[in-house]
């Protein structure tokens, strides 16, 4: 399958999925997300590949959901999820819950190599990987989005503090919180991800698979999937609240406003 918004590279027993929309800071179009799912599916079935890295071309890992690039608008006209409330629910569930859980449950170790901004939806896709390795310039911005992983990734009280403040998490703090496993010098994050992947790849594919399955099963036993489904319902209630206009531009303005507020606190 030829991809348009991602690239896939293979090197020995390691594969890399590159988010390839640097012009838009790797904003997540519908096509990009579905292409990610297809790439993960193909690599999951490729027994020559032991470890998968997710990385972003350009200066930033991902600025989040695509809120209206020309490409996304053209795609929306040809790939409808249905009209009205059910259409929005179908779109949100498919793109951000079904896809995310598939990435999380890939049977092989996955590593996110993150630089620059990792905002909202960017945080979401990074959180689906088993490990995150960050450049020291990385900044993470979680939010009340579809796959609400912050309590699992940051801890309960720190999640409340950071989300109530609506602020970025710098790479150094992300390391202290356990969100990331390693912080590198600027621009060295992908090299470090490859080095980590090579260590994993020395293990047998079956051992890696069973270790990951056991750990994910333990997290599920603690309520991960149940929490994801419940939070998505809460998120959709917020999105469809009578206090929020149902026009797409209005939702875009609200999300952009949240990012703008966080950037202002950074002095940007």
Residues 29-53 have pLDDT tens digits of 999 999 999 999 999 999 999 999 9
Q: Is it the case that residue 179 has pLDDT exceeding 60?
A: yes
Query: Which class is 6-265 in CATH?
Result: alpha beta
Contact between 179 and 123 (Cβ < 8 Å): no
pLDDT of residue 243: 47
Contact between 59 and 14 (Cβ < 8 Å): no
pLDDT of residue 251: 55
Write down the mean pLDDT value for the chain: 91
Between 224-239 and 205-221, two packed helices, what is the crossing angle to 10 degrees? 60
Q: Is it the case that residue 250 has pLDDT exceeding 60?
A: no
Q: How far apart are CA 175 and CA 268, in angstroms?
A: 23
- Domains in the chain: boundaries: 6-265
Q: How far apart are CA 65 and CA 28, in angstroms?
A: 5
Enter the tokens of residue 30.
């519908």
Q: What confidence tens digit (pLDDT) does each residue in 63-83 have?
A: 999 988 999 999 888 877 888
> Roughly how many angstroms between the first and final C-alpha of the chain, as a whole number?
40
Confidence band of 246 (pLDDT split at 50, 70, 90): very low
pLDDT of residue 36: 97
| Least confident interval from 67-71, 127-131, 155-159, 197-201 | 67-71
Q: Which of 156, 162, 110 minimizes the C-alpha distance to 140? A: 162
**How much is the pTM?**
0.91
pLDDT of residue 2: 87
User: Which pairs from 255-264 meet CB under 8 Å and 24+ separation?
Assistant: 255/64, 255/65, 255/67, 255/120, 256/67, 258/120, 258/143, 258/166, 259/64, 259/119, 259/120, 259/141, 261/166, 262/141, 262/166, 262/167, 262/168
Q: Is it the case that residue 249 has pLDDT exceeding 70?
A: no
Query: Which helix (DSSP H) or strand (DSSP E) does residue 156 occupy?
Result: helix 156-165
Enter the tokens of residue 114.
């993150």
pLDDT of residue 230: 84
Q: How far apart are CA 176 and CA 134, in angstroms?
A: 12
């Amino acid at each position: 399958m030829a991809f348009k918004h991602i690239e896939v590279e293979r090197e020995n027993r390691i594969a890399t999925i590159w988010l390839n929309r640097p012009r838009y800071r790797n904003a997540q179009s519908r096509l990009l997300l579905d292409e990610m799912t297809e790439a993960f599916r193909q690599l999951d079935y490729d027994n020559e590949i032991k470890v998968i890295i997710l990385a972003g071309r350009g200066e930033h890992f991902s600025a989040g959901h695509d809120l209206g690039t020309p490409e996304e608008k053209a795609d929306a006209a040809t790939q409808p999820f249905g009209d009205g409330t059910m259409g929005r629910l179908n779109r949100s569930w498919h793109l951000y819950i079904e896809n995310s859980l598939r990435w999380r449950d890939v049977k092989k170790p996955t590593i996110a190599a993150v630089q620059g901004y990792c905002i909202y939806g960017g945080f979401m896709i990074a959180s689906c990987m088993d490990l995150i390795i960050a450049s020291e310039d990385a900044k993470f911005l979680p939010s009340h989005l579809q796959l609400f992983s912050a309590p699992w990734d940051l801890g309960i009280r720190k999640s409340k503090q950071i989300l109530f403040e609506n602020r970025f998490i710098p790479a150094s703090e992300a390391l202290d919180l356990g969100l990331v496993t390693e912080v590198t010098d600027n621009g060295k994050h992908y090299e470090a991800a490859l080095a980590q992947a090579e260590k994993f790849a020395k293990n047998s594919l079956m051992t890696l698979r069973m270790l990951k399955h056991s750990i994910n099963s333990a997290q599920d036993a603690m309520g991960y999937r149940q929490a994801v489904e419940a939070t998505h319902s809460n998120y959709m209630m917020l999105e469809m609240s009578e206090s929020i206009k149902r026009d797409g531009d209005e939702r875009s303005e609200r999300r952009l406003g949240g990012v703008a507020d966080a950037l202002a606190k950074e002095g940007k």
